[in-house]
Amino acid sequence: MNIIGLDALVFGVEDLAASRQYLIDYGLRDAGNDRYEALDGTAVIVRAKDDPSLPPGMGTASMLRETVYGVADEATLQAIATELSHDRTVTHEGGVVRSHDDMGFVVAFQVTVRRPLQLPTEVVNAPGAPFQRPANAIGVDQNAPAVPRTLSHVVYFVPDAAKAEAFYVDRLGFVCTDRFTDVGPFLRPAGTLDHHTLFFIQTPPFMKGCEHFTFHMGGPTELMLAGSRFVEKGYQSFWGPGRHKFGSNWFWYFNSPLGCHVEYDADMDLHDNNWKEREAPVGADSSQAFLFQYREKWAPSGGPTPEAGAVPVAAAH
């Protein structure tokens, strides 16, 4: 199945005004009709929780109503419809195939809306390597834009991670890249090399839903700029900034009015079919290589140094 990745996530929220402002402040573009887009057209869509156009809720606190995947072509779309119709209800209307997975999450598939991007990447100069940024080219611009480029991945709380994994691997052709023992797998679909598009975390049934989603940024500096600006707008940091081990992606998570956490990420590993999955017990040492703690800007001035808790620390949330 040539599934490229996430095209959109659809939420039914309690506070529509706060959710709209949050997504704009996060850096997404208001594309109209409560659709908020990254640079490539992937998006988050918000509706009032009682909007009749939404699929039913999950019966938990989760506000996620639908996960929309982009596929390469009409042939893939038809193959998915045929496969899933063997044992569940499938609709195929308006170019969208819609059904549900084995955990009850509503999933939809469409020929992807992603627009190709041709943008510069962050470059680093290092002793012993050819210059990546030439002489007199400045590496940091405090006023540079830091805009989400593409919808990266979504994380589900599920009561049966093994069953959830089997559906996506056996029915939709996802591949496990890595896993946390007794917690869940990181999965990528066939149409991307990204370390993961989907991750499951085993939880009790009452927690079932979306734990977080994230968009890729252009690099660690963009992530730090975007996250710092988000904090300065009054949004609460949940975890980060830091860098994960599985996937190697930089991260910074925030609380949100969408009933889940929302992350910025950057510089994720890419894997092809030659990759062999790794496994590790979940914990502070395996979930991040390092972790920082945000504080307001500080400069030495002859006075007391910052308090111990205000410097970067290597501690898990």
Which residues span the domain enclosing 40?
3-114+148-291
Q: Per residue in 240-259, pLDDT tens?
A: 999 999 999 999 999 999 99
pLDDT above 80 (res 260): yes
- Taking alpha carbons only, the member of 42, 68, 43, 74 closest to residue 54 is 68
Say how far apart CA 125 and CA 137 lie, in whole Å.
Answer: 11
Q: Per residue in 151-167, pLDDT tens?
A: 999 999 999 999 999 99
Surface-to-core class of residue 181, CB atoms within 10 Å of its CB (0-12 exposed, 13-18 middle, 19+ buried): exposed
Domain assignment present for 312: no
Domain assignment present for 162: yes
CB 175 within 8 A of CB 235: no
Domain assignment present for 306: no
pLDDT band at 305 (very low <50, low <70, confident <90, very high): low
Say how far apart CA 257 and CA 251 lie, in whole Å.
Answer: 19
Domain assignment present for 311: no
pLDDT above 80 (res 74): yes
Percent of the chain with pLDDT over 70: 95
Domain assignment present for 174: yes
Mean pLDDT score of the chain, rounded to an integer?
Answer: 94
pLDDT band at 33 (very low <50, low <70, confident <90, very high): very high
Work out how many domains the chain is built from and give that number: 1
Say how far apart CA 231 and CA 264 lie, in whole Å.
Answer: 13
Domain assignment present for 308: no
Q: Per residue in 123-133, pLDDT tens?
A: 999 999 999 99
CA distances from 61 to 19, 205, 249, 260 (A): 16, 11, 28, 9
Domain assignment present for 172: yes
Model pTM score: 0.93
CB 314 within 8 A of CB 290: yes
User: Length of the chain, please?
Assistant: 317
H helices, E strands: number in the chain = 6, 18
CB 3 within 8 A of CB 189: yes
Crossing angle of helices 16-26 and 220-232, rounded to 10°: 140
CATH number for 67: 3.10.180.10
Relative to beta strand 150-158, strand 198-202 is parallel
Domain assignment present for 237: yes
CB 4 within 8 A of CB 192: yes
Average of pLDDT values for 200-229?
97
The residue type of 278 is: R
pLDDT above 60 (res 86): yes
- pLDDT value, residue 314: 33
pLDDT band at 7 (very low <50, low <70, confident <90, very high): very high
The residue type of 227 is: G
Give strand pairing partners of 54: none
Surface-to-core class of residue 11, CB atoms within 10 Å of its CB (0-12 exposed, 13-18 middle, 19+ buried): buried
